[in-house]
Amino acid sequence: MRKLLALFLFSTLSLSAASAATYPVDDVIGHVNEGDSMLLEAFSTAYDETWLERFASPSIQKDLNAMHGQRLLAMLPLDDIIMSGEGGRYMLRDRSRGLVITIWLDQDGLVEALSFSDQGL
């Protein structure tokens, strides 16, 4: 029984250590995870009208383009992305540029809002 308990505890600790190694903690955005594959694709793609239609909620496309279009045009695609978050709120960090983007998604998984922060290198 003790051997079984010891094996169970060792397995649990090994899995916890493996998870920590797979998903490190970034000093800017917190626990890094796989995030949302659509967001990775969106921010690894050049910004244009097709980007808006494909990745932004239809209700905010015009406002998003007016508020952030020039910045998105200049910065996308990002090169060295890490991500944290879940449940509709994510943080992307481009480590090569020191740029952090907080993104809120709607119920369909489309960009609903953005916030930018330059953290430096």
The number of folded domains in the chain is: 1
Report pLDDT digits (tens) over 19-34.
445 678 888 898 998 8
Considering the domain boundaries, does residue 12 fall inside one?
no
Distance of alpha carbon 69 from alpha carbon 63, whole angstroms: 9
Is pLDDT at 118 greater than 50 in this prediction? yes
- The H-or-E segment that residue 89 falls in is strand 89-94
What φ, ψ does residue 103 adopt, rounded to 5°? Answer: -130, 135
Considering the domain boundaries, does residue 83 fall inside one?
yes
Report pLDDT digits (tens) over 31-46.
998 888 899 999 999 9
pTM for this predicted structure: 0.75
Q: CA angle, corner 30, sides to 29 and 34, nearest 5?
A: 85
Considering the domain boundaries, does residue 14 fall inside one?
no
- Residue-number span of the structural domain to which 81 is assigned: 24-118
